[in-house]
């Protein structure tokens, strides 16, 4: 019987990131090699990207599974999350012009 020693990884958490980034909207796109998640604060007529995460398709699938597991745990503890109706109008995202 072989026992693998658990590896400890020290994570550096930069102080400027410790407060997190709020988002009320997300845009997700992908290529064959990666998924790109842009987290935004949108308050028409403008919006701002607050964070961008780029990851591999394999990691994205694990991320999705982790989200599903945590939503299940949340709902067991606090009750079912009600999904609100989608906005009646669509928002067209226009890239900023460079000066």
The answer as to whether 10 is a domain residue is: no
The answer as to whether 5 is a domain residue is: no
**Full domain range(s) for residue 37:** 21-78
Q: For 69-94, b where at least 16 C-beta lie within 10 A, e where not — what string?
A: eeeeeeeeeeeeeeeeeeeeeeeeee
Model confidence over 41-73: pLDDT tens digits? 998 888 999 999 999 999 999 999 999 999 999
Count of domains for the chain: 1
The answer as to whether 57 is a domain residue is: yes
The answer as to whether 46 is a domain residue is: yes
pTM: 0.75
Rounded to whole angstroms, the Cα distance separating 99 from 96 reads 9
Tokens for 86? 């989608």
Model confidence over 68-94: pLDDT tens digits? 999 999 999 999 999 888 766 666 666
The answer as to whether 98 is a domain residue is: no
The answer as to whether 73 is a domain residue is: yes
Burial of 40 (0-12, 13-18, 19+ CB in 10 A): buried
């Amino acid at each position: 019987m072989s026992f693998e020693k658990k590896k400890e990884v020290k994570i550096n958490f930069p102080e400027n990131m410790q407060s997190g980034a709020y988002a009320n909207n997300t845009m997700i796109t992908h290529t064959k090699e990666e998924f790109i998640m842009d987290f935004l604060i949108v308050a028409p007529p403008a919006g701002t990207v607050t964070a961008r995460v780029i990851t591999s398709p394999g990691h994205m699938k694990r991320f999705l599974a982790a989200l599903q597991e945590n939503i299940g745990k949340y709902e067991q503890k606090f009750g079912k999350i009600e999904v609100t109706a989608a906005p009646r109008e669509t928002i067209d995202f226009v890239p900023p012009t460079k000066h």
